[in-house]
Structure 1
Amino acid sequence: MYKTITAKYKDKDALTNVADELLNKDIPRENFFIDEKISQIKVMMPESAKQEIIDILNRHGPTEVH
């Protein structure tokens, strides 16, 4: 079963860094969406990868994760 996690950031550099790290962890590009206008990223992942994805998102200083 897949779950979606959304994180917001203060700047676009953080979004780029998160995307790079997700790709380096072999998360397919089609599993995450970046909205630069509101500095937000949404990641779809299996439940088994939830903690690893949350750790990645939190490493880049989100203002909000849900």
Structure 2
Amino acid sequence: AEKIKTSLESEIVSLRERISELESNLAARGLEFSSTISEKDAALSSALTEISSLKEKNSAL
């Protein structure tokens, strides 16, 4: 019985470590996702500014 208890406790420790790893990976991916969204937003904003500028130039002609 003691052997089984020790084995189960070891498994619990292992699973807790795996959960910690998964949580860390999830947090890192969340930061990566946020960064990607920010970059895309900046690119979109730049493109919209360029479109507005081109429209103004075209209207002046």
TM bucket (normalised to shorter chain) is under 0.3
TM-score, structure 2 as length reference: 0.26
Higher relative contact order (CA 8 A, sep 6+): 1
Greater percentage in strand: 1
Larger % of helix: which?
2
Determine which structure has more spread, i.e. the larger CA radius of gyration: 2
TM-score, with normalisation over the residues of structure 1? 0.25
